[in-house]
Each structure stands twice: as C-alpha cells, then as structure tokens.
Structure 1
Amino acid sequence: MSMAVETFGFFMAALGLLLLGVTLPNSYWRVSTVHGSVITTNTIFENLWHSCATDSMGVFNCREFPSMLALSGYLQACRALMITAILLGFLGLFLGIVGLRCTTIGDMVLSRKAKLAATAGALHMLAGVCGMVAISWYAANITQEFFNPLYAGTKYELGPALYLGWSASLLSILGGICLCSSSCCATDENPTTSTRLPYKAPVSVMPLTASDEGDSSFGKYGKNAYV
C-alpha cells in the first residue's frame, strides 16, 4: 500500500511541477477590460514579464517590462519565488525517480531510497509553498488596488493563470506529503524475501540392521546382567 501511495504522490508532484511551468509564462495573471465604443473597447492582461492589450477587432500588441530594477518589489519577489519553485520541483523530480521503490538504480538499499524519496517530498512541498506564496502575494496586490478608492491607475481582476497556479502549488504540496509519509517506515529488509522460511536440509534416517539392533539392545543392559 505504501508503494502505491509513494507512486501516486510522485505523479501528483510531477503534475504540479508541470502546471507550475505552464503558469509562469501564462499571460493572464491579471485582466482588465476598458469599456467604451465598439472600436475603443479593449482588454488588458499582464503577467510577470509583459503587458498586452487586445481591442474589439482582435488586434493585440504586447510590450515587455522595460527594466527589472524599475519594477515594483512584489513583482520581482514573485518572479524569484516562481523560478525557485520550478527549480526545486525539478530537483525533487530527479530525486524522486531515484528514490522510488519501484525503480532499480544500482544496488541501493531500501532505507537509502526512502531517504531520497523523503528528501524529494520535502523539495516538492517547498516548491509548492514558494508557488503558493508568489501567487497569493500577486493576487493580494490585485485585490488591494481594486478595492482602493484612491487608486487612480488601471484596476485589474484575478486572471485564470492564478487559479492554475494555486492548483499546481496544492498538487505539489500534496504529492510531497505522500512521498514523505510513505517513505518514513521503510527498512533495509526486502519485502519479497521477508516472508520466506529458513531452509533446512533434509535429515535422512538410516534403517537399523540386525547387527545394529543387537548392539543397541545390548547397550540397554549393564555388564552385570550377563555375569
């Protein structure tokens, strides 16, 4: 059962890493629609790297953020956290492949594989926490600007990429928990050989001959019985 939980947690964490990789370059982190006439109505959407605008005719153009130093602090922190989450996820994925009990790489005992699987689970959980913090921080800034009556800039709403990132972070955390919980009780004993009974060589019993029977009966009496 623990092997199934370990494998399930590995694939769950791998799916979370894949979704985190899709979330990072997604353009729809925050979306704003500016209403006007049929021609002037446009949609503005941004992510951590660029800002794009699309008009009602379907024509859009994008511009990259000019300088990293000119960005706000929370945006730089979100970039760093998302990149860190993906790097930790890749490292946890590699250690998870080596540490799974269903894989055979060299002559590695189960206790060492369990330590590698637990380390991979911890890395996946840390990656999920980094992604969760980055996306929640970005979403909190959007809601703060949206409900601030004194904010004069463009007000945005939560984009679909944020919901995808939350799901990816949650999958990474749950997958890491499954990896850690399933590898905490592993031992060096091979489960395929632990139920085998010890081998005992068969003992052959030689039949008694007449001379042996006489000798054996003679030994039952003392010498005084024949005096």
Structure 2
Amino acid sequence: MVSMGLQLAGYTIAFLGYVGTLTTTLLPSWKISSYIGSSIVTAVSFTKGLWMECATYSTGITQCDIYSSMLNLPSDVQAAQALMVSSCAVSSLACLLAVAGMRCTVFGQGSPGKDRVAVVGGVAFVLGGLLCFIPLVWNIHVVLRDFYNPILPDSTKYEMGEALYLGIISSLFTLI
C-alpha cells in the first residue's frame, strides 16, 4: 500500500472536502437574485438555498424563511436535498472507515483486512464526492438556463451563489 504520509495527505484533503460538503448543504446561497429593482430605497437581494430562502434589504437586515413545504419545491431542489444529505452520510462513513484503515492508527493493526478497510473508505469518499457533484452541476445548469432564457422576466432570474462554487471545490477535494 501507500506510505503513511500519502495516506494522511489524502485523508486531509478528503476531510476538507467533507467539511465543505456539509457547509454547502447548509448554506442558503445556492442562487442569488440578479435583479436589484428600480428604487435604491427598497432594494432587496434574494438568495435561495436547499432549505430556506433569504431576503437582504438595503438597510442591511437579512430575513430568512424555511421552506414551508418540501413537496412544493422544484424537482432540482428536491433532488439536491436528497443527494446532498446522502453525500454527507456516505462521506461521514468514509471518514470513519478511512481513519480505521490508515497505517497510523492502532485499530486492527497487523490485520490483513486493514488495507481493505482503507480502500473501502476511499471508495466511499469517491461515492460521496459524486453524490455531491451531481446536484451542484444540475443546479448550475438550471440557473444558467433560466438566466439566459429571454422569456423569463429579469425579476425571476438568479445567478450562481457562493455555495455552488464552494460545493464544486469540495466535491473535487472529496473525489481526489
């Protein structure tokens, strides 16, 4: 198998990806409104996430509301909720398996199955990264499709939020 230093480096990168995936799942900034409005006095910026939407007023006050019905959400958001929670669960399991299978841990030392546990942990990290990557790319596609749709009014168009950028980087870290 690989050296202990390489295992630690790989685990650290994958763990950072896992933390980023958790953060991406919880952030309410998947989509950011691109329409400011005609009056600077009543300017409101809207953000939408998987679990809530927020409005930031020109006074600096931010008000967030949790979605009242999960069944009323668009299919891309419902799928993203399920896939991101699955990604977090699989990545949590991957963290435990990878730690148990690393050479620097005492758990199962000298056991022939220790290397297999590390491999299963790595495969689980890859699966968690894919489960994170799919809803992110799907939401990016929806945002860009709607943004460049000439039929939609400007007030309903959104841009990509910080959570999507963080999620892409996190899923790539988890996949590496």
One-letter code aligned to 1:15: L
One-letter code aligned to 2:44: N
Listed one character per residue, the Cα deviations across residues 101-154 of structure 1 (whole Å, up to 9, x for unaligned) are 111124542x31110000000000010011111111111111111111112461
One-letter code aligned to 1:21: L
Question: What are the equivalent positions in structure 2 for 1:16-165 lying under 5 Å apart?
Answer: 16-32=17-33, 33-109=35-111, 111-152=112-153, 154-165=156-167
Percent identical pairs in the alignment equals 32
Listed one character per residue, the Cα deviations across residues 20-75 of structure 1 (whole Å, up to 9, x for unaligned) are 11111111111114232221111111101111111111123222222111111111
One-letter code aligned to 1:171: F
How far apart, in 2, do the equivalents of 1:172 and 1:83 lie? 15
Could you say what the CA RMSD is over the residues aligned between the two structures, in angstroms? 1.4
Runs of 4+ off more than 3 Å = none
How far apart, in 1, do the equivalents of 2:82 and 2:30 lie? 16
Alignment length (residue pairs): 173
Query: Secondary structure of the residue that 1:51 maps to in structure 2?
Result: strand
Listed one character per residue, the Cα deviations across residues 67-113 of structure 1 (whole Å, up to 9, x for unaligned) are 1111111111000110011000000000111100111124542x311
How far apart, in 2, do the equivalents of 1:149 and 1:44 lie? 21
Answer yes or no: is the 8 Å Cα contact 2:52–2:67 preserved in 1. yes
Contiguous gaps of at least 5 residues in structure 2: none
Answer yes or no: is the 8 Å Cα contact 2:29–2:47 preserved in 1. yes
Query: Secondary structure of the residue that 1:62 maps to in structure 2?
Result: strand
How far apart, in 1, do the equivalents of 2:54 and 2:10 lie? 37
How far apart, in 2, do the equivalents of 1:62 and 1:122 lie? 37
One-letter code aligned to 2:79: A
Listed one character per residue, the Cα deviations across residues 140-199 of structure 1 (whole Å, up to 9, x for unaligned) are 11111111111246100001111100010000000xxxxxxxxxxxxxxxxxxxxxxxxx
Higher relative contact order (CA 8 A, sep 6+): 2
One-letter code aligned to 2:81: R
Normalising by structure 1, report the TM-score.
0.73
How far apart, in 1, do the equivalents of 2:55 and 2:9 lie? 41
Q: 1:106 to 1:121 in 2, by over 3 A?
A: closer
Answer yes or no: is the 8 Å Cα contact 2:108–2:114 preserved in 1. no
Q: 1:5 to 1:107 in 2, by over 3 A?
A: closer
Normalising by structure 2, report the TM-score.
0.93
Contiguous gaps of at least 5 residues in structure 1: 175-227
One-letter code aligned to 1:129: L
Answer yes or no: is the 8 Å Cα contact 1:39–1:55 preserved in 2. no
Answer yes or no: is the 8 Å Cα contact 1:125–1:172 preserved in 2. yes
Of structures 1 and 2, the larger Rg is shown by 1
